[in-house]
Amino acid sequence: MNVAKQLHQLQEIDLELESTEQALKQISSQLGESQPVVSTRAKLESEQQHLDDLKRQQHSAEWEIDDLTVKITTAEEKLYGGKMTNPKELADLQHDVDSLKARRNQLEDKTLEIMDQVELATASVAKVSSKFEALETEWHSQQQKLSAEMEQLKNKLSDLKQKRQPLSAEIDPQTLELYDDLKKQKGTAVAKIEQGICRGCSISLPISELQQARSGNPVRCSSCRRILFLA
């Protein structure tokens, strides 16, 4: 195999290596937590906390209503039991009963308001929870797919490196150094010749360069200085 062809084959492998490495980097950047999942989870936790707070307020109000009802019942039993005859004591007790009932009415109104808020908060939690579950399911599916793709790319990368090693070993070190230098400078070191044109710079080549390229030895384009390869 002539040197120019070897270098062209090496370049094809290197381009595929670069493409595979870039794909691996892209997949790696997509692995891990998803911002929509994280933000939706935080919102769900906040909504759930708000609902829990409302339920605690509701239960506290209901317990206080029950406690007031017991106190009112006890006070009314004394008030109407006939055992108390002192007008002032009866008047004070009636005032206490009225105050307890007024407080209970306030709490009952408050409880109704809280119950409405609980209903709205419950609906909001259900909505955000549904969204979160959908996002999380989609994220898990994507992560599994990306992990599988990454494994395939790692295997491909390993195969390409194994393929490159014996090919690069066949090339003269000085020529290989020239190839590496050109690749760093120009992105590609080897340019194919098609219809007498260097595909590296799209310039028509002199007859002398075409004739040298046919020999298979490394010949550089007089314009872009890439190594020419004639298939």
Q: Is the pTM of this model over 0.75?
A: no
> CA nearest 206: which of 217, 220, 216?
220
Q: Return the domain boundaries, the chain.
A: 3-10+172-229, 31-169
Assess contact for 228 and 198: CB atoms under 8 A.
Answer: yes
For the chain, 231 residues long, give each residue's pLDDT as a single digit of tens.
589 999 999 999 999 999 999 999 999 999 998 999 999 999 999 999 999 999 999 999 999 999 999 999 999 998 888 888 888 988 999 999 999 999 999 999 999 999 999 999 999 999 999 999 999 999 999 999 999 999 999 999 999 999 999 999 999 999 999 999 999 999 999 999 999 999 999 999 999 899 888 887 789 999 999 999 998
What CA–CA distances, in Å, run from 192 to 43, 172, 213, 218?
58, 20, 10, 12
Angle between helix 3-30 and helix 87-169 axes, rounded to 10 deg: 170
Give the class (CATH, top level) of 31-169: mainly alpha
